[in-house]
Amino acid sequence: MRRWDLFCRVVDNFGDIGVCWRLARQLAEEHRQDVRLWVDDLTSFSRLCPSIATAADSQRVGSIEIRHWSADFPVVNAADVVIEAFACELPASYIDAMARRELAPVWINLEYLSAEDWVEDCHLLASPQTNSRLTKHFFFPGFTPRTGGVLRERDLLADRAAFDSAAEGEFWSTLGIPPRSADEIRVALFCYENAALPELLRAWSEGPQRVRLLVTPGAATAQVERWFGRVFLGAGPLEADFLTAHGLPFLPQATFDRLLWACDVNFVRGEDSFVRAQWAQRPFVWQIYPQAENAHRVKLEAFLACYLAELKVPGAAEAVRRCWLAWNFGGEIAAAWWDFAENRQSVERYAKDWASQLDQAGNLANNLVCFVNGT
Ligand code: TRH
């Protein structure tokens, strides 16, 4: 068993801690590693994991030690393996502690997920540090076997397969959402402020198909409430003709995963929910984290090319592409949506093949452990 220090800075939103928390759990629970997780923002963390005490400097959740990463960094021994998540910059005193170790730690910078070609070339590149005998390695998650893969819990696919209609019914009832009716399509909405959303809400309200929308807190809720001109009150939905919208509370991470399993179509964003939507094996629409000068467009196009390469049903790949582009960069979202919805069954069948392909890249936690073990 090795000791791991995992460092996470919450830049904004929940993706950084979302990924780090899943990784920490998999290393501890599935690989029996001794994990200490340093997080600078325990309040954000507590939303994903409600048992986190936000004022505690040090606490345990299961076998994982959680430390509040404050400006005043304590004197600690460096671990055998150090993960610097998303180039979060380790404290200088901790780097000194790493350099003082007899055996230099394995130092890994865990990067953001991307389907761009260059990722395969940069994955596992070594960066020797000047004035020290430490070397940092770049570890790139990705979608092909020559990358680090994506996170997947050992039992995830089995749990997903076991989530049948009875389990789904129970899930909805726990959330206080009515059971499915035959004529509706159930859609989860997790997005950033999105210029296409008002138009999409209008299209949904006009039918012809009933849409039951599950709206996550934050930007999605704010925009939906603005469109209705009313706020969500308790479990009561907002309704406009063919559209019924329910405001959800922030769900613990495992419950959020199940929301994606239970909906027919998932609107997701960022990095972690984007991956979970793929494991959910449902049609999904991704809103990529926006960057300056539309730099994110290249990243989105790279993923679309990779994801849609084997979707051969006539019209289906084009429908996905059109809907995603309209959702991210503007365009005829209403027409694009109904085209997407029409191709839903084909995309859903393909989602299963895609998940198997994704699995071939291996899972990120396994790949990290193999790298550290030199196997
Ligand atoms: O919150 P995000 O927008 O995070 C983003 C991205 O990671 C982006 O790449 C990064 O640069 C930026 O943050 C700083 O979206 P993401 O990645 O999907 O993370 C959301 C996490 O929140 C994910 O782990 C799922 C979790 N979640 C819940 O657990 N419950 C909920 O109810 C909701 C809505 C989300």
Digit-coded pLDDT (tens) for 173-213: 999 999 999 999 999 999 999 999 999 999 999 999 999 99
In 3-state terms, what secondary structure has residue 84?
strand
The residue whose CA has the least distance to atom 13 of ligand 1 is: 15
Digit-coded pLDDT (tens) for 14-59: 999 999 999 999 999 999 999 999 999 999 999 999 999 999 999 9
Digit-coded pLDDT (tens) for 285-310: 999 999 988 889 999 999 999 999 99
Atom of ligand 1 nearest to the CA of 251: 32
For residue 24, the surrounding DSSP H or E stretch is helix 15-25
Atom of ligand 1 nearest to the CA of 217: 34
Distance 274 CA to ligand 1 centre (A): 9
**Average pLDDT of the residues of the chain:** 96
What's the pLDDT score for residue 131?
Answer: 78
16, 40, 65, 199: which one is catalytic? 16
Domain boundaries, the chain: 3-152+362-373, 156-359
What does the CA dihedral 338, 340, 345, 348 come to, rounded to 10 degrees?
A: -140
Question: Is 72 one of the annotated active-site residues of the chain?
Answer: no
What's the pLDDT score for residue 360?
Answer: 87
**CA pair distance 224, 213, nearest whole angstrom:** 10
The answer, yes or no, to whether residue 329 has pLDDT greater than 80, is yes
The answer, yes or no, to whether residue 137 has pLDDT greater than 90, is yes
Q: How confident is the model at residue 352 (pLDDT cuts 50, 70, 90)?
A: very high
Distance 288 CA to ligand 1 centre (A): 11
What's the pLDDT score for residue 151?
Answer: 98
**Helix%, strand%, coil% for the chain, nearest 5:** 45, 20, 40
Digit-coded pLDDT (tens) for 71-81: 999 999 999 99
DSSP tag of 143: S
DSSP tag of 100: H
Q: Quick one: which of 313, 335, 337 has its CA closest to 324?
A: 337
The answer, yes or no, to whether residue 314 has pLDDT greater than 90, is yes
Average pLDDT over residues 213-234: 96
What's the pLDDT score for residue 216?
Answer: 98
The number of CA neighbours under 13 Å toward the Cβ of 284 is 32
What's the pLDDT score for residue 235?
Answer: 72
Atom of ligand 1 nearest to the CA of 86: 11
DSSP per-residue string spanning 187-234: EEE--SS-TTHHHHHHHHHH-SSEEEEEEPTTHHHHHHHHHHTS--BT
Share of residues in the chain with pLDDT > 90 (%) = 94
Atom of ligand 1 nearest to the CA of 250: 32
Digit-coded pLDDT (tens) for 243-255: 999 999 999 999 9
Q: How confident is the model at residue 361 (pLDDT cuts 50, 70, 90)?
A: confident
C-beta contacts of 285-294 below 8 A and 24+ residues apart = 285/323, 285/324, 285/327, 285/340, 286/324, 286/327, 286/328, 287/191, 287/192, 287/194, 287/327, 287/328, 288/328, 289/13, 289/15, 289/192, 290/192, 294/329
Point out which residues pair with 107 in neighbouring strands.
82, 136
Question: pTM of the full predicted structure?
Answer: 0.97
13 lines ligand 1 (CB under 6 A): yes
The answer, yes or no, to whether residue 242 has pLDDT greater than 80, is yes
255 lines ligand 1 (CB under 6 A): no
DSSP per-residue string spanning 116-135: -THHHHHTT-EEEPTTSS-E
59 lines ligand 1 (CB under 6 A): no
253 lines ligand 1 (CB under 6 A): yes
The answer, yes or no, to whether residue 109 has pLDDT greater than 80, is yes
112 lines ligand 1 (CB under 6 A): yes
Q: How confident is the model at residue 2 (pLDDT cuts 50, 70, 90)?
A: very high
153, 271, 272, 339: which one is catalytic? 271
Question: Is 16 one of the annotated active-site residues of the chain?
Answer: yes
Average pLDDT over residues 217-238: 94
CATH T-level assignment (fold) for domain 156-359: Rossmann fold (3.40.50)
For residue 110, the surrounding DSSP H or E stretch is strand 106-110
Burial bucket for residue 34 (CB in 10 Å: 0-12, 13-18, 19+): middle
What's the pLDDT score for residue 206?
Answer: 98
Distance 7 CA to ligand 1 centre (A): 17
Q: How confident is the model at residue 130 (pLDDT cuts 50, 70, 90)?
A: confident
Q: What would the two tokens of residue 275 be?
A: 């991956």
Distance 186 CA to ligand 1 centre (A): 21
